Structure 1
Amino acid sequence: MTPHAEEGVALSERVIASLSARGETLGFCESLTAGLAAATVACVPGASAVLRGGLVTYATEVKAHFLRVPVAQLNKQGVVSAATALAMSQAALTEISSDWALSLTGVAGPGLQEGKPAGTVFIGLAHYDRGTGRVDAHAFEKHFSGDRAQVRQGAVEECLRLLLEALAK
């Protein structure tokens, strides 16, 4: 296991412990990372107590299906955007029936996508509050350097950090 992968597993252990203590669950909707975030969490013993599942929406048409929007609308707003990351996290809450959802969309590289450089990543974080029935969702823009693998691994680690910060509030 690479040092970066080990960091992802360490963050996953903290996520699982925190969500388990709260009796809450987690789901993913991943494009850029193609299931790497969910797989990183699943590497940890005890993950089944919190990990509900994930959607891998790598193709625009698949994103459009789960976001329930026409492909043309998704192309107009951009698949690599805060709006798409936000919608992806909310779709994961609905489709997976989890309390928390993380989404990742971006440009792994090496070239540009939608005019955005490699390393541009948008992370969505959504929470369904069982008590109020409200959904609170946020999107974050992040930038990573390195090759495709480093960008994807960095995005996974950052989404887990963002979730831990939200759980600590």
Structure 2
Amino acid sequence: MARDLIGRLGGHGWTLGVAESLTGGGVTSALVAVPGASAVLRGGIVAYATALKSQLLAVDGGLLAARGAVDPDVASQMAAGVRAVTGADVGLATTGVAGPEPQDGQPPGLVYVAVSTPGGDRVRRLDLTGSRPAVIAGATAGALGLALEVISDLS
């Protein structure tokens, strides 16, 4: 999926910024493994701590205080924030609970992935199961899949 995403973005002359929480850099790592990624990928920010989502990605602090970091609006704001910070055409974000314990009252496996483009944002909820590594891998694949879907819809 990473190769397809890099190819589609490059074909449009678009760039990408990535904001990650529970995936801890996994999405960015998958992208940089693709030859030619440097023509598309502007950068990635791992904002694992909740406060960094606000400080680095301009996620509304009141939203974080009210709902916690595992929220569809937080994912959307992370994607828009990384787009702005990196100067990219497209922003991609992940937030969720890898487990094994709940976080902010949310169960392990609950993940939100988001894509931000000049034409708008799209967020998808993922309900993943399995071990912590399985949830992280599923979130990474879900984020790349959503980005491919959005870019294909814009083509």
TM-score interval, smaller chain: over 0.9
The Cα shift of 1:69 comes to 5.4
Provide the residue aligned with 1:16 in structure 2: 6
Provide the residue aligned with 1:5 in structure 2: none
**RMSD in angstroms over aligned alpha carbons?**
1.4
Provide the residue aligned with 2:131 in structure 1: 147
Q: 1:46 and 1:70 mapped to 2: Cα distance?
A: 34
Q: 2:67 and 2:46 mapped to 1: Cα distance?
A: 20
| Structure 1 position 123 matched with structure 2 position 123 | no
Q: 2:59 and 2:89 mapped to 1: Cα distance?
A: 23
Q: TM-score, normalised by structure 2?
A: 0.93
1:123 match: secondary structure: strand
Amino acid paired to 1:140: R
Q: 1:166 and 1:70 mapped to 2: Cα distance?
A: 24
**How far does the alpha carbon of each residue in 1:106-149 deviate from its partner, in whole angstroms, 9 at most, with x for none?**
00000111221111001111012xxxxxx411221111111111
The Cα shift of 1:68 comes to 3.3
**Contact 1:77-1:83 within 8 A present in 2 as well:** no
**Contact 1:60-1:71 within 8 A present in 2 as well:** no
Larger radius of gyration: 1
Q: TM-score, normalised by structure 1?
A: 0.86
Q: How many residues align?
A: 153
**How far does the alpha carbon of each residue in 1:75-119 deviate from its partner, in whole angstroms, 9 at most, with x for none?**
212200001001100001100111111100000000111221111
| Structure 1 position 92 matched with structure 2 position 82 | yes
Unpaired runs of at least 5, structure 1: 1-10, 129-134
2:56 aligns with one of 66, 77, 80: 66
